[in-house]
Structure 1
């Protein structure tokens, strides 16, 4: 039977290398984003709360609103868009 878990096929996307070893820096936790700002989904593998699905790793989206400590990010997928509630640890500003 094939595994269908939330973190399946995530060895390369969710593996920790030297950059992501240990606890994430506080600047990732305390980052603030404005509505309409472009962000990149960059999953930090050691933090489970507010983690989006691995299929969205590396995708660029737009912040719609702040929801508690997290942000709602719209990711365009063809004719529709996915709305993800993501912790600020798992997103970074797009250049």
Structure 2
């Protein structure tokens, strides 16, 4: 029986699509952004920046910054009911504020 290929980008045809207005050079400010520990962030994968790209399973998830590993950040994210650590480059992270921070503070014991 043939085996199904299952690489890191399998099943991401629409998840990692780049809109025409977003094509081109990366924003340098996004690459240089800093986060503090306990900041609430959302994982927003940018497909044409391959360094520090998290798995597509975590696309759109929000979590807390746990620490820093080299140029990347360790983010604690819930995968179902289990907390997991995702290492991602700052290009793929977006800082959240307002209502998202209030919601995450109510679920503080979970993450």
TM exceeds 0.5?
A: yes
Cα RMSD of the aligned pairs, angstroms, is: 1.2
Highest CA radius of gyration, 1 or 2? 2
Which 4+ stretches in 1 moved above 6 angstroms?
Answer: none
More helix by share: 2
The normalised TM-score by structure 1 is 0.92
Alignment coverage as a number of residue pairs? 95
Whose relative contact order is higher, 1 or 2, with alpha carbons under 8 Å and at least 6 apart? 1
Q: Which residue does the alignment assign to 1:83?
A: 85
1:9-33 deviation digits (Å, cap 9, x = unpaired) = 1111111103431122011100000
More strand by share: 1
SS in 2 for 1:28: helix
In the alignment, structure 1 segments of 5+ residues that lack a partner are none
**How far apart, CA to CA, are the structure 1 residues paired with 2:51 and 2:15?**
17
